[in-house]
Amino acid sequence: MNDLIESNRIVYGRILKDELSEVELYAEEEMNRYQQVSFTQDQERDGVDYLGFDLHTMWGLYAEKGYGVCLVFDKDRLRLREGDYGGDVKYGNFIPEDYEFVNKTTAGIRSEIWDRREELFFYKRKEWEYEQEFRIIRRAENENADEYMDVFDALSFVIICKDETVEKGESIWDGITCYILQHLKRGVPVLSYEYDLDWYTLYRDRYGDPIWAEQLGYY
* pLDDT one-digit tens code per residue, 84-123: 999 999 998 887 777 778 888 888 989 999 999 998 899 9
Residue 121 has a CB neighbour count (10 Å cut-off) of 19
Contacts from 147-150 at CB under 8 Å and sequence distance 24+? 147/35, 149/37, 149/78, 149/79, 149/80, 149/81, 149/84, 150/79
Task: Kindly tell me if the per-residue pLDDT of 8 is higher than 90.
Answer: no
Q: Are 69 and 162 in contact (CB under 8 A)?
A: no
Using a pLDDT cut of 70, give the percent of the chain over it. Answer: 86
Number of helical (H) and strand (E) elements in the chain, helices listed first: 6, 13
Q: Are 30 and 24 in contact (CB under 8 A)?
A: no
CA distance 210 to 202: 6
SS3 190: strand
* pLDDT one-digit tens code per residue, 206-219: 666 889 998 888 88
Half-sphere exposure of 183 (CA within 13 A, CB side): 5
CA distance 192 to 161: 6
List all residues 6 or more positions away from 77 whose beta carbon is below 8 Å from its beta carbon.
Answer: 153, 154
Question: Which ranges constitute the DSSP H helices of the chain?
Answer: 4-7, 22-32, 56-62, 106-115, 117-121, 176-182
Using a pLDDT cut of 90, give the percent of the chain over it. Answer: 37
- The arithmetic mean of pLDDT across residues 158-187, rounded, is 77
Q: Are 134 and 75 in contact (CB under 8 A)?
A: yes
CA nearest to 191, candidates 73, 59, 75, 69: 69
CA distance 64 to 67: 5
Task: Kindly tell me if the per-residue pLDDT of 64 is higher than 70.
Answer: yes
pTM of the model: 0.85
Say what the pLDDT of residue 206 is: 61
User: Which amino acid, residue 107?
Assistant: A
* pLDDT one-digit tens code per residue, 179-190: 888 887 778 899
Say what the pLDDT of residue 6 is: 72
